[in-house]
Structure 1
Amino acid sequence: MSNNLPPYSDGVNLTLDELLYYKQQSIRWLPPAKSLWSQMLGQHQSRRLGRGMDFSEVRQYQAGDDIRAIDWRVTARTGKPHTKLFSEEKEKPIILFLDLSSSMLFGSTLMLKSVQVAHLASLIAWISVAQQDRVGAIIDTGEELIDIKPSARQKGALTIIQSLVTVHQQLLANKKQPTHDLADGFMSLSRLCPKGSEITLLSDFSRFSAENESILNRLSQHNRLHMVQIIDPLEKGQTQYRGLEKVKDNNEVHWLNFSSRKTREGIRHAFEQHQQQIKTIASKTGIRFSSISCDTAITQQLHGL
């Protein structure tokens, strides 16, 4: 994998130029080409992704109708063959949940996790614009939630990337520990999202807990969800650094010896346990799950899948 930064990016600060760059990249993932999501999901087809057909009505079967569209329930109830009619799926709301809390302002190699979130968010937003969908977002800083209502054409994408640049700059200047978990943000999604929305959650999910399952389950009943975990290699114990490093969480300070294989394995094990918890809940609630590393540009990773 290449470890070159994307154009206009230094890996730490965000600029409009580096996010506008993904406008020209978005065409690669428009139909009939393979979708962005099929790339991220390992080339598997998904009914959840891309434009399709919406159910319209049921009427009595007519000569020439596709027999695969026969509604067998109505046929059995009435004793006469009936078929389902479908119409082309119309403009749909695309909602991004963007985690910019303090754990995201970290990167051990190429870029901060928060920067990778912004890059992927920009790419999704511009794809949405190209497909004539409305796009909105919730930016979660861990202290406040910033709602961006879904808008059509370029307005939605431009509002999102401008907000990301502004908020990210403020957070770098004044890092604060989060005061709420992801549940607050997920609850905001239920208020912001019209039914039938495509919701993408971009986060490292460090604030994720089993208690979030019920909220996600309710969201997934009327919307299509995709969880994308942003990962730094160090979180999996992968680092060339060999030495002592001070780390801290909300309550405690620890010294970690990265020259110790036991330490690195312990970090990897803790990460895998937490990730498995997320994957299990995602599977139970019918949510797609994938991951992106922040040690490589997005476009490089997608082409490599």
Structure 2
Amino acid sequence: MSLPDLAELVALRGPARGLSLHAHRPALALLQGSHRSAQRGRGLEFEEVRPYAPGDDARTIDWRVTARRGRPHTKLFREERERPVWLLADLHPGLYFGSRRQLKSALLLRAAALLAWVAVLGGDRLGALIAGGQSQPRIFPPRGREAGVLPVLEALVEAQPQAPGVPDADSLNALLAGLRPLLQPGSLVLVLSDFSALDARTESALAALSAHSDCRLLGLSDPLERNGLPSGLYRAGLPGRLWWLDGARSQDAWQEKWAARQQRLDALARRLALPLTHLDTADAVAESLPPLLRETAWAA
């Protein structure tokens, strides 16, 4: 399996055209629990007040104008097109794994690149935090147009693991902690991870971020992780730490452990009303992500 290079990530600008992170009801919020609007905080800018009409959201009623004029009035907002969009790339060494089309690390790079292009082509400013084995995440403050995208793509290519390694149990928490002091209310946060090290600190950090921003989760997985080994004997592990596995005998325990991990992530997404999208190494990103990002998808 080949590793993505900069030329491939730049070329994803083409499939990103016509896609949007500002859809009225973003299809990135797949059928997983509650759906949070992409428009909140600084993502909306006040435009005018007009008389209330049936069907208007009661939460937008301007009570001061209503009291002054003696009839209900509602506030109108327009979407602020230059909101900060943050990519959090949990590119830990354990992502050097894949049994189908691509490694999980390659899937992350391709998804992050496509989302980055969608953001800047839609008028947003792109920022990123990238974990890749270094002690601290690399931080890229939000910038618009190609000036915001190209340095992030270059850093993703440099940070991708080059060989199998032990998953970093703290990389995602470090990303979330690093973003918190940088985050402006109303920002969009896209978290790309396999969530293999999800713990109480992760849940607490996501709850804090999502309180003032639009936060969406993109979970990476591989069919072999979900289904377990087929029947047969296999030698598995890391260099210097290999052991034999019996596919048939290990399958039940394997699938049970995977189901528990997935249920915890799904429950977290539902509890915090975070849209959760599952990305699979068996799918080409340029084919699987665009249908989820079309402006018309899920439109009311």
TM-score, L = length of structure 2 = 0.81
Distance 1:227 1:100, change over 3 A: same
Q: SS in structure 1 opposite 2:181? A: helix
* 1:194 matches 2:188: no
Partner of 2:283: 296
Distance 1:41 1:84 in 2: 29
Partner of 1:153: 145
Cα shift at 1:130? 0.9
Q: Which residue among 140, 152, 155 is the counterpart of 2:131?
A: 140
Partner of 2:162: 172
Q: SS in structure 2 opposite 1:172? A: coil
Contact 2:88 2:129 in 1 (8 A): yes
* 1:255 matches 2:244: yes
- Paired residue type of 1:99: D
Partner of 1:235: 225
TM-score, L = length of structure 1 = 0.80
Q: Deviations over 1:43-65 (max 9, x none)?
A: 99966348997252775x56xx6
* 1:265 matches 2:252: yes
Partner of 1:163: 155
Q: Deviations over 1:100-149 (max 9, x none)?
A: 10111111222110100000001001111111100111111254311111
Distance 2:94 2:284 in 1: 20
* 1:96 matches 2:83: no
Q: Deviations over 1:229-254 (max 9, x none)?
A: 100111112555732222269xx865
Distance 1:29 1:174 in 2: 34
Q: Identity over the aligned pairs, expressed in percent?
A: 26
Distance 1:152 1:85, change over 3 A: same
Distance 1:273 1:179 in 2: 18
Distance 1:143 1:272, change over 3 A: farther
| Number of aligned residue pairs | 285
RMSD over equivalenced CA pairs, Å: 3.5
Distance 2:32 2:14 in 1: 22
Partner of 1:277: 264
Where structure 2 has 5 or more consecutive residues not aligned to the other structure, the ranges are 293-300
Q: Deviations over 1:192-251 (max 9, x none)?
A: 3222110011010111113321111110011001111100111112555732222269xx
Contact 2:127 2:148 in 1 (8 A): yes
Q: SS in structure 1 opposite 2:201? A: helix
Distance 1:298 1:278, change over 3 A: same
Compare relative contact order (CA 8 Å, sep 6+) and give the higher one, 1 or 2.
2
